[in-house]
Amino acid sequence: MSEFNDYKINLKEFKNGFKFTEKGLTHKQGSRFKLLPYAANEKTLVDDFSGVLGSFSRLISNKQIEGTFNYDEFIEEVAEQVGDYEGNLSEETFKDIIRTMFIEDGKLVNFDIKTLNYINSTKADEKIASFLYSVLFDENIKKEALSHYDIEVNNILYKLVLKSLPTLKEKKYSMGGYNCYVPYVKEMFIKDFRFLIKHEELYKDSLKRLLEYYYMFYISQLSIKLDKFENAELDKMEKVYYTLSWESTSKNRTAYRLGWELLKGKVNSLFSHAVALELLNTNGDENQLGYLELAEAYNSMNKDEIEESLREVVNIYQSQIKDIDWNEFKPTSKQSSVNGFNEVYRLYDSLEYQFNKGTRKRAYDAYKNWFVKFVEKNFGKRRGALGYNLNMTEDDIILMTKICINDKKKLKLNILFEEFEKRGIFFDRDSSKKIIQLYEKLNLLEKKSDSGDAQYVRSVL
């Protein structure tokens, strides 16, 4: 972090950036401080990662696609590569074979790692992919990724088909403008990505689910950290529990209380945090500072001076929100020993209050719904009166088991559950029993005769 001398809000920039008018202001986020790649509307909300997969693959392999993939043109190109046919019938038969083998539902089948680069993406897909690339990837692992994308295939037909695909432009991408605020998530992603890309079939089949999970992992951890403001421990895992799709559950279960029920309360406030951090970063410094860095900065300043400055900003903000009766506003009783942070709390509470009491609730809900609707579709299971629970399927457990065992032949059962937890996947006692039963059903569980009751789970690669 750079040296701090004066970190007071630039009032002119605040008023310009938040577009002060006689009627009010516009809540701004994502400019001075990039928290998440979300908008305060749901028009382009992304809850399916098919396009994100294509965009992410192009980012890590330095490729750019122009237009969209046209499978009719592709089939014609493959046919032309062959050249001579015995009459029109044989050419049409060949085209039918290519169509059957390499096209499914109008899309190219991922028969090779390079074909991931031909998956079409929307602008919104690209924003999510760029965010993941920015917070999870680094240049060192990129070199390894490129070496796998450059491997030549031996299969003659595959060579012919790959040669017939449109040429992709080379493009070098920067790591993006998002800072990673949960470093242990990035550390585990790099480890798991490195394992996955060494096994091409697994990579092609599972990269999409890996991206979905690490997106879930990062934002769930981030949401809990934000709720702790300057007291967050960025190197400490926050426990989030999952249930299993094939088990029943109840309100008494740990997996219910410390799963989505816990997380959704933190996720609800994402827009307030995004706006608060945008405002608090409105100054002459170019660094993006989260609550912990801001706390360090404020503690390096005169206590009375920074508190008076922040108090003025909050008062200006409240006076500009004209459709709210601030006489009824009661900030939380939370207190901080950090210079200025009681006013940071008051700013956050003011944002929460006006979003929930005023006419801007739709924007507030739309922002969080980028994550909520993704979770409900990809990691949620509705369980009657209990609502949604965080959920893992059998396929998820098998994939995560492969990833956790890595290139080992087997892993002790208790160590395997520890590896799940390193990846933010916690199970209560009931779910753990069900997982052990699944391993038994799949014949993956074994006991070592010389280890007493020690149980091992065999690799499923």
**Residue 160 sits in the same domain as residue 304:** no
* 335 pLDDT above the threshold of 90: yes
**Residue 53 sits in the same domain as residue 202:** no
pLDDT in tens, 108-163: 999 999 999 999 999 999 999 999 999 999 989 999 999 999 999 999 999 999 99
Please check whether residue 137 lies inside any domain of the structure.
no
244 phi/psi in degrees, rounded to 5: -110, 145
Residue 287 or 192, more confident: 192
DSSP bridge partners of 107: 104
**Residue 212 sits in the same domain as residue 361:** yes
Asked if 323 and 353 touch (Cβ cutoff 8 Å), the reply is: no
Low-confidence winner among 76-85, 228-237, 251-260, 360-369 (lowest mean pLDDT): 76-85
**Residue 346 sits in the same domain as residue 378:** no
User: How much is the mean pLDDT over the chain?
Assistant: 94
Give the percent of the chain with pLDDT over 70: 97
Asked if 25 and 318 touch (Cβ cutoff 8 Å), the reply is: no
Predicted local distance difference test score (pLDDT) of residue 333? 83
Q: How many CB atoms lie within 10 A of CB 262?
A: 18
Predicted local distance difference test score (pLDDT) of residue 2? 46
Query: Across residues 406-410, what is the average pLDDT?
Result: 94
Asked if 454 and 447 touch (Cβ cutoff 8 Å), the reply is: yes
* 267 pLDDT above the threshold of 70: yes
| Angle in degrees, 0-180, between the axes of helices 139-149 and 50-61, rounded to the nearest 10 | 100
Of 354, 371, 388, which residue sits at a domain end?
371
pLDDT in tens, 207-261: 999 999 999 999 999 999 999 999 999 999 999 999 999 999 999 999 999 999 9
**Residue 52 sits in the same domain as residue 158:** yes
Domain with 98 in it: 48-122+151-177
**Residue 187 sits in the same domain as residue 300:** yes
**Residue 339 sits in the same domain as residue 400:** no
**Residue 328 sits in the same domain as residue 227:** yes
What SS3 class is residue 155?
coil
Confidence label for 87 from pLDDT (cuts 50, 70 and 90):
confident
**Residue 156 sits in the same domain as residue 114:** yes
**pTM to 2 decimals?**
0.94
Confidence label for 453 from pLDDT (cuts 50, 70 and 90):
low
Residue 451 or 167, more confident: 167
Give the percent of the chain with pLDDT over 90: 86
Question: Which single residue is written with the structure tokens 């920074």?
Answer: 306
